[in-house]
Structure 1
Amino acid sequence: MMNNNLGHEPEPEWGYITDPTLLESRNAKNAVFTFRPSDDNWVLGVHKSESYDMRWLHDAVIDPADKLALLTLLADAANRNAPATIRSYIHAVRACLDALAGMAFQQRWPHLRVTDQRVLAGLFRRAKTLGLVRFTTHAAFIERAGVSEIQRKFLDPERGALTDIENQSVDHAFRRINDELLLEFGDRLRLLKAQEVTYLGTLVAANLNRAILRRPCQLVEMKWADVRPYGVGFEQDIGYPQLADDERLHLRVFLGKRGDFRGYAERHSHPLQPAMSRLLALYHHHYWQTLLVRLAGQGIELTKAELGELWPRTPLFPMRSLFTTAFGDKGTLFKALSVRSQAFHRSHDRMGTRLKTFYKNQLGPHLTSDRRLLDPQQGQVLPVGNNRFRHTALTNGAMRGMSTVELASLTGVSEGAVAHYVDLTPAARASIDAALAPNPTLNGFGRISVTELQSQPGYAAKNEYEQVIGLLRAPQDCTSCPSRGGKPLACYPCQNFKPFVDADHHAQLDKAERRLALQFQAGAGEGSLKPLRTIVAYIRATILACLACEQYRALSPEAQHDLA
């Protein structure tokens, strides 16, 4: 067990602390770390973000009895909760610290954030369990006043589920970026720099964040031991594997909110699609090629058996310092990288920051929306990230009729956490799609002329009679398109497709509606019907946009100028 006070002079005791139990060392949620409630600094984990300066409470000008009670509650919380959760406890307490006495708390209560209200309600209930009577009146008031309802954000245009068009643009952006990545790093003979490996790791983490719908705090706990060829169990010792490009992989993920590092693995692994497996295999190759060269430069040459022992201990998404640290000898290297060691793992805060930067700078310029006007040149990009991916998957899962058990398994949460997603019906979502479809279609017509379309490089989308329906502006993006609708029907909802005004879109609408009717009569599920419903909605919007263009062109030049 690690005692943070070893080798240090005892800190000066605070005069208000009279309870000897507050002067004793306690375990953090991660039992490797200990702290004393009386200390100025509580170190609850290996990363800087998991250390908390507690002088704000020690120095607070409040009743000493309140201070002691709060210190006891926060120390209890630090013992039971993950380090990241303690940040919310500290924020909630600081938000009402100067208003604990008398009626001040009741006056402050309505002005607190909803999350702070929920934390304080639980904290003061816990006080009763611990036998602390200091906050009995506060708990009674909260019970009478109640906690404000959290506004569900899963349909919020800024934070909630992505629409189909937004989600398709995310698919498009990931395919485009991954294609560029494979061109940049596809040469396996090229030796990457440390920063290139960690950059590649961030791209892989972003793909996994969306592919397996797990939080950044779960990704940073992963080691290479959690990556196996599909069909190979995680209890098997496989040494150092050469992951082939055509080998399908599966991942083991640990629960993210249990507090202890790699303490509880999820019951089921996560199989990866072939494209994701190839990307991870490429990352694995460059990661180990760079690390082994760096170690050899320090005179550390590993045997095959030693490499097989080191491989499962090493973080999947390491800090750059893993490749730059001078270990000196094999003993120090193996001591630093153990099966349960957090050494060289990125913190979840750092991973979260890197992913946010990636989503904004790399994905952002390629994203489109049917709910808002975006201009990447002005910094206006569609906000996406971990929570939005999870909201989208759960909302779409509910649309397909998945049960709460299936939805909970999808993102690794409790059934209660996903219950509100089942309120949306397929009919309601279809009406939303139909209402939103005209937005991107009309925007596309207004931003580029037919003459400009015809002058752009690309190739035409034609119907079965070889009549041109529209232009595909980036043909290379169509090579990895997963749509099964076929051209040109499946092109209508796509941001890459620009329809011609004088094309026969009515014929395409008839074809799409017939196909939808046949599928419906055959008893197809909503998962099969929904893409067709979307195609029908976008063809109708295209026809309306064409009609608007024709009406505009029929006006006199003076009338056109007045409208402009």
Structure 2
Amino acid sequence: MTTRTMYQTVGNAVAQWEADSPLCWTMQESAGDTGLSPDPIDCDLTTLISSYDESFLLALKEALISSRHHLKLTTIHSYSQQLKLLLAQVYAKGFNNNVRLRRIDTGFLAALHAAADEIPAVYLRRLKSFFQAHKDDGRLFESTLQPGDFPTLQSKRGPVGDRIHSILAKALRRSTLVHILDVVETAFEEKRIDLGRYAFIRLALNVFCRPSSYHQLTLADLRADKDPETGAINYFLAVLPAKSGVHRPQKINYGLHPEVGRLLALQRQATVERYGNLSAMSADGQGHDRLALFPALRLKADGSSWVSDYAAANHGMLSRRAFKNTYLAPIRKLANTELSFNALRHTIGTQMAMMGCSAHTIQAVLKHATTTTCAAYVDLAFQGLVDELSDALEPSFSTHFPAINGFVGVPNAIPPERRIDSVDLETARVEVTGMCGRHVACSYAPIACYACPRFIPCVEADHSINLTVVEREISFAEDRGLAMQHDVKRWKAIRNYILLVVALCKIKRGAIGLGTNEKFEDVHE
């Protein structure tokens, strides 16, 4: 006997379920103008059927589906998961198996208060906000309930303290970022990871986006412009921002470091060679523009299409969850660190705050919809909260907060004894690249400065002068075989420190609107 498939349309999304299993459903948005079919979500309340009346669960399902009018599908999915777990936990703590609850009432709230310490605070907030949105639905809530009846765990740190705690727990030290680069570079050279994963982590350490921005990148998003005067190639990447507060935001153009741009260009070429036959040519004949820049890797046995139905329907594009597992998880495993997209974003947020950037500037760079989290970075750096951290937070701060001493502006304003000059002997080129945080610059300058916590880089300097020197040293050591492998590793580590400073300088210049020919008015911003 076949069962009927039921559908419900809410805005541009469709909910679908089988008639004989109405508490298990999926939701998916239509492709719309973008031609992209977003990730479907799966929701399942069937595990609650022995504890709660079916009419209550159906009303809960109806409320979750209708919330698509103002919530993203991913939010609805997390909402349903959290409410389901909360309902199951409260029932297990406060009721016996002979009772099936018909709605959330005073008896339910009594059990909720008793179990509140064992329930995540976010679940409690979800239930309270759900009540405020649906309190008039008698199928869900008893009519006498008030918002104050619902418990919410208040952290002793307060909202700002919680945000700072979250930042400190995830932000990475510069030495950790260099370790990640070292490990991934070695794995790439030894062919233990492919070009796509290597290009991805180099990109992630330059633009600091959210995963949903990375997985939607296409070949058309990478652009290379040649300067007619210098012949230099400038690379740009058009990125779709996430959590912007706009339903269909415009893509944002990021300027890329030339080395990162070249890596992405190689990745684009490799993608066309490997998967070009699976995607139709673009309408204007300019190439396989719609192919994913970081595509799914697994193909069917006959090579006719991708294994993933989602990738097959979207020109090789991975879903957000699959992208994380395919591209980020291998890097995390290689580096043996709790690397995440949030960790990278918290890292750059704290770095920018220590540079002197305002919450609004950090918001503009990280593309936050509001300045709430960005203000926490500034509070952490400038409003004395570093000195007032509790004993519980202090070890976290010491472990996780990335060291940076700010940036110096006009080279002529640097005291001569503290100025760091970089010299390329082959070209006789000289560049003032920073200032020593000590009283007198040491004899190891300038190459060793990039790994030194006292180094204050010059934001308008061209630090590629030292990259060129280091690249020559790497090439020299590699040509001399196994005996010089220690030197190869040391020089590569230094190169990665320089690359991080180059990335930070680029972000700093962009944040303050400093062009290549503009100058700071004073030494420190």
Settle same-fold status: TM greater than 0.5: yes
Instruction: Give the aligned partner of residue 221 of structure 1.
Output: 216
Distance (whole Å) between structure 1 residues aligned to residue 167 and residue 375 of structure 2: 20
Q: Moved runs in structure 1, 4+ residues, more than 6 A?
A: 46-49, 129-133, 427-433
Letter in 2 for 1:51: D
Structure showing greater Rg: 1
Instruction: Give the aligned partner of residue 128 of structure 2.
Output: 121
Q: Is the 8 A contact 1:217 1:256 kept in 2?
A: yes
Correspondence 1:421 to 2:431: no
Instruction: Give the aligned partner of residue 360 of structure 1.
Output: 332
SS at match of 1:251: strand
Displacement of 1:354 = 3.4
Displacement of 1:288 = 1.0
Which runs of 5 or more residues in structure 2 are unaligned?
A: 29-36, 91-103, 388-393, 400-441, 449-485, 502-520
Distance (whole Å) between structure 2 residues aligned to residue 158 and residue 423 of structure 1: 12
TM-score by length of 1: 0.56
Trace 1:12-31 onto structure 2 (pairs within 5 A). 25-27=8-10, 31=12
Displacement of 1:174 = 1.5
Q: Is the 8 A contact 2:271 2:293 kept in 1?
A: no
Distance (whole Å) between structure 2 residues aligned to residue 429 and residue 106 of structure 1: 33
Choose from 42, 51, 54 the match for 2:42: 51
Displacement of 1:483 = 4.4
Instruction: Give the aligned partner of residue 181 of structure 2.
Output: 174
Instruction: Give the aligned partner of residue 524 of structure 1.
Output: 523
Choose from 245, 250, 266 the match for 1:282: 266
Q: Is the 8 A contact 1:400 1:426 kept in 2?
A: no
Task: Determine which structure has the larger strand proportion and give its number.
Answer: 2
Distance (whole Å) between structure 2 residues aligned to residue 267 and residue 72 of structure 1: 34
Displacement of 1:473 = 8.4
Instruction: Give the aligned partner of residue 344 of structure 1.
Output: 316
Write out per-residue CA displacement over residues 408-436 of structure 1, whole angstroms, 9 at most, x where no aligned residue. 12221121232222112359699899x96
Instruction: Give the aligned partner of residue 16 of structure 2.
Output: 35
Choose from 59, 84, 93 the match for 1:69: 59
Instruction: Give the aligned partner of residue 272 of structure 1.
Output: 256
- Structure 1 417/217 Cα, relative in aligned 2: closer, same or farther at 3 Å? same
- Structure 1 160/280 Cα, relative in aligned 2: closer, same or farther at 3 Å? same
Q: Is the 8 A contact 1:82 1:258 kept in 2?
A: no
Write out per-residue CA displacement over residues 19-64 of structure 1, whole angstroms, 9 at most, x where no aligned residue. xxxx76123x7x254436973432224688722334235x243244
Choose from 383, 386, 389 the match for 2:338: 383
Distance (whole Å) between structure 1 residues aligned to residue 284 and residue 163 of structure 2: 47
Instruction: Give the aligned partner of residue 4 of structure 2.
Output: 10
Trace 1:436-475 onto structure 2 (pairs within 5 A). 463=443, 474-475=489-490
Displacement of 1:396 = 1.8
- Structure 1 135/227 Cα, relative in aligned 2: closer, same or farther at 3 Å? farther
Identity of aligned residues (%): 18
RMSD of the TM alignment (CA)?
Answer: 4.7
Displacement of 1:217 = 2.0
Correspondence 1:251 to 2:234: no
Displacement of 1:346 = 1.1
- Structure 1 42/436 Cα, relative in aligned 2: closer, same or farther at 3 Å? closer
Distance (whole Å) between structure 2 residues aligned to residue 524 and residue 404 of structure 1: 21
SS at match of 1:317: coil
Letter in 1 for 2:197: T
Instruction: Give the aligned partner of residue 80 of structure 2.
Output: 90
Which runs of 5 or more residues in structure 1 are unaligned?
A: 1-7, 12-22, 186-194, 233-244, 365-381, 438-461, 487-521, 527-564
Letter in 2 for 1:128: K
TM-score by length of 2: 0.59
Instruction: Give the aligned partner of residue 356 of structure 2.
Output: 401
Task: Determine which structure has the larger helix proportion and give its number.
Answer: 1
Distance (whole Å) between structure 2 residues aligned to residue 266 and residue 348 of structure 1: 19
SS at match of 1:117: helix
Write out per-residue CA displacement over residues 369-416 of structure 1, whole angstroms, 9 at most, x where no aligned residue. xxxxxxxxxxxxx42221111111111212222112111122211212
Displacement of 1:279 = 0.9
Correspondence 1:206 to 2:201: yes
Q: Is the 8 A contact 1:215 1:386 kept in 2?
A: yes
Instruction: Give the aligned partner of residue 308 of structure 1.
Output: 285
SS at match of 1:121: helix
Q: Is the 8 A contact 1:66 1:134 kept in 2?
A: no
Distance (whole Å) between structure 1 residues aligned to residue 142 and residue 250 of structure 2: 38
Distance (whole Å) between structure 1 residues aligned to residue 15 and residue 167 of structure 2: 43
SS at match of 1:141: helix
Distance (whole Å) between structure 1 residues aligned to residue 164 and residue 491 of structure 2: 33
Letter in 2 for 1:278: R
